[in-house]
Amino acid sequence: MRVHEARRDLYRRLAREQGYRSRAAFKLIEATEKYRFIAPGDRVLDFGAAPGGWMQVAAELVGEEGLVVGVDLHPIRLRGRNIKEITADVHDSGVGQRVWLALGGSQADVALSDLAPSVSGVWELDQGRQAELTLRVLELSGRLLRDEGYAFFKLFEGERSQEIRNEFKRRFRAVHTIKPRASRSVSSELYYYCEGWRGAGTAERGGHPEGHDPS
């Protein structure tokens, strides 16, 4: 068995043993252990949340006083007093309003994005679509993420990678690259931990997402 296959099987086994819905949970665990960006009582947004592994980890970290809102095209069906889910496409015009209401009309402390498109097999196309999904999360974060908030993004490395990294650096005070151990060594995905959200290039702060009044 190749090294990357053995590593993949290890994290799948650990996920089953520890009750996580996906091996991806260990990517977020490693990042939060290193950077400590999810704290008790935090409000966390998770875009591309299905099947729910990251939501499980975030819910454990925020505790009963916190809240995790997961968004995905597919139902997540994860139970918990501090968990809410929204079944929607992030490109839907009303998704920002739905998230705002799920947060109780307040901003989140942390935004997570593990979004990926349906893979076509044409890498340039897939990487471009994934880049657009990431840009959409940045757009939504303009109103949904608090000043000085944190984020953790997946990014497919490719032709548009530098463009997206420049956006991270423009919108956050600091950006750190991480390749979690649970990622396959042959995978082109990298993760970016970003801190100090400043929302550069987004809509005017202080209003409601996408210009809607929640009333």
Closest CA to 183 of 20, 19, 22, 58: 22
- Pick the closest to residue 98 from 36, 137, 144 (CA basis): 144
Q: Which residues are catalytic?
A: 154
Chain centroid to Cα 47, Å, comes to: 5
Q: Are 42 and 69 in contact (CB under 8 A)?
A: no
Cα-to-chain-centroid distance, residue 19: 20
How many CB atoms neighbour CB 40 within 10 A?
A: 10
Which residues are CB-contacts of 132 (< 8 A; sequence separation ≥ 6)? none
Which whole-number Å values give the CA distances from 190 to 147, 164, 166, 198, in the listed order? 25, 12, 15, 22
